[in-house]
Chains A and B, each alone.
With several copies, the nearest count.
Chain A
């Protein structure tokens, strides 16, 4: 797994590439929570386009991120989820807990 962070009009975009599993999720957790900690009334959006795999430890990381971000007044967006990953969120009944968009443009209404 690799993460790449870019700024977008005062918001943060995290692009994740590769497998998110028990081995890589601690690194993701560190990246995600440190960005959330620094954010204030911002959007943190996660680009799932090149995520090839996610397991329960990856999902737990995002649930933790969501709880943390709610305290900061910022918002957590997901976009670009491959269908197989969307299916896992749906099965876990988390598709309505997270704000999931089809594309980056959809997320920002541009």
Chain B
């Protein structure tokens, strides 16, 4: 188990606020700078939103697993779902100059995380690995 916290929520948007709160509290416990914690909150929220929207196509009865592991210098979050496998080539945000609704989530995730990696080894569903290096 080491120093991991895991939370499993139904794929319903009403639980996103629970996840944001857990992200905040973990940031506090590890003394992470508040500005960074705010960016992490948004990024992890967007990753969950994408799972609900794209992997589960809006089905709110599935589940999302989020695991936080904080080690000296490294903050890792792993998100898992059992939904439709993501098409790696589509996994990118829109051109920021092409103003239209949507297409910002991936930008918000990559803004704060140094590593954004879809684990190819997972058989069913998706496992997204996000790593931020801490100073």
Residues in A lying within 8 Å of B, measured CB to CB: 19, 21-23, 53, 55-57, 59-61, 63-64, 67, 84, 88, 91-94, 97
Contact B42 A19 (CB under 8 A): no
Instruction: Give every chain A residue within 8 A of B17 (Cβ-Cβ).
Output: 19, 21, 23
Main DSSP-derived SS at the B contact region: helix
Contact A23 B16 (CB under 8 A): yes
- 8 Å CB contact of B13 from A21, A56, A64: A21
- 8 Å CB contact of A92 from B14, B20, B49, B104: B104
Contact A56 B105 (CB under 8 A): yes
Residues in B lying within 8 Å of A, measured CB to CB: 12-14, 16-17, 20, 35, 38, 41-42, 45-46, 49, 52-53, 96-97, 99-102, 104-105, 107-108, 111
Bound Cα distance A94, B100 (Å):
10
